[in-house]
Amino acid sequence: MNVNSTQSRRSFITATCATFSGLTVSSRVSAQDSFDRYIIKTTEPGEISHLDIVHQLDSVNLCVVRGSEKEVGKSSKSYAPDIVTATDRSLEPQKISEEGSATNEPLFDKQWDKQVQNIPAAHSITRGEGSRVAVIDSGIDPSHPDLKHAVNENLSKNFTNDGGDYSDVDYHGTHVSGIIAANDHNNQGIVGSAPRTDLVALRVFERFRGALFGDILAAVVYSAEINADVANLSLGSILSRYGLGSFYGKALNKTMTYARREGTLIVASAGNSSTDLQHDSGLISLPNEGAQVLSVSATGPTNFNPDTGDSELPYYAPTTYTNYGTNVIDIAAPGGRLDSDIQDRILSTVPTDLSEFSPYGYLAGTSMAAPQVTGAAALIASVNQKPSSPTKITRSLKKAAETPDEYSKRFYGSGFINIPKALEIL
């Protein structure tokens, strides 16, 4: 592959998504209070009738409102200011040659992540037909040639109040979506794990801003309401387990438990601050430590050679940035490396208006590992009897996964993902 670092940002994107929020590149995401919005616990609908309601989540007895703390306090004794994760984006311009072997798709030889998961074998069983995936992120580019077949425009939605639609305001959501559902056999670009799934874009990020916690909760509830089999959250924050953090944790747990009960599996990135989440001194990472959430850590090779498929460190080696913890991580999946060659990252789709040369780019992070598992879950949901069962999907994924002998279990939970075996078990 030819790489020219002098190309403009619009030529080709490779970003270091070594972040917990997905859109940031700081070692740990900070959070700041947004004092014009509050999340409140409700018991009676009349309690909030006089407030400016942003999201009314009756199914989980929560509501997101806009107004002063004085007015909010009159309505409920249990509330907290809505928070937004800070953003700090970094792009490293690159250029990619579209030339390559045509195994499944022209760029498949560069997709080490799909090769090691044996996606072609999984596709001999299912390509995700009949399943539905919600991507709670920065939006999706519905015009991308590898995604326009999959995006459900009727169900996709913008949960922010910025006046836009569900289209990607950055690049992160489109990249995540390509990992899940990029078109198969259209002789262009890449292939996703579940190319025939019904993809729903739920935008919770505003341009140049993080995602408000209340918008994320509303998107999770909506995912369950539209009968999504899986919802992907490549985002999050690290908070104190006490004070306001306790409120957010309880609100999230209630929301995630509701989604799971309604048949929606929540898959979340573990975070990228190299933190031992099992011994983190009173901190909690959300949403991946929430109730009923499948938490995903990241692995990746070094010096991957697209021509031979060889690498120095194996594809299942833990990355230096991934969060870990034996009782916190559920499964590991390819997320790409930041400390080696660009080809050791994850190649996927980026919005077409960001690239005059090629609408594909490399990113790395647990943000990229989570959608690998989401795509796998969509495949399992496709062959599972309706209604979908998050418990069956989780059990199949965990039972099929294996922990490499040479690495600690604290990075893997049940082990490294094995999609064909999970389908066989089901």
Spatial neighbors of 102 by CB under 8 A, at least 6 apart, are 108, 187
Supply the pLDDT for residue 282: 87
Which residue in 367, 389, 396, 414 is the catalytic one? 367
Supply the pLDDT for residue 96: 42
Tens-place pLDDT, residues 222-270? 999 999 999 999 998 888 888 888 899 999 999 999 999 999 999 999 9
Spatial neighbors of 114 by CB under 8 A, at least 6 apart, are 108, 190, 191, 193
Q: Which residue has the tokens 């592959």?
A: 1
**Is residue 279 among the annotated active site residues?**
no
**Mean pLDDT, the chain, integer:** 85
Supply the pLDDT for residue 328: 94
Which residue in 172, 184, 388, 414 is the catalytic one? 172
Q: Is the pLDDT of residue 398 over 90?
A: yes
Which residue in 137, 170, 215, 229 is the catalytic one? 137
Q: Which region among 108-112, 377-381, 386-390 has the lowest average model confidence (pLDDT)?
A: 386-390
For domain 31-85, give the CATH number. 3.30.70
Tens-place pLDDT, residues 25-68? 222 233 444 468 999 988 765 567 678 889 999 999 999 998 88
**Is residue 34 among the annotated active site residues?**
no
Tens-place pLDDT, residues 13-22? 444 443 333 3
**Is residue 82 among the annotated active site residues?**
no
Domain residue spans in the chain? 13-30+92-425, 31-85
Residue 73's pLDDT band (boundaries 50, 70, 90)?
A: confident
Closest C-alpha to 313, from 302, 299, 297? 302
Tens-place pLDDT, residues 123-151? 999 999 999 999 999 999 999 999 999 99
Q: 2 vs 305, 344, 348, 390, 419, CA distance in Å?
A: 13, 15, 17, 43, 32
CATH number of 13-30+92-425, picked from 3.30.1360.120, 1.10.569.10, 3.40.50.200, 1.20.1050.140:
3.40.50.200
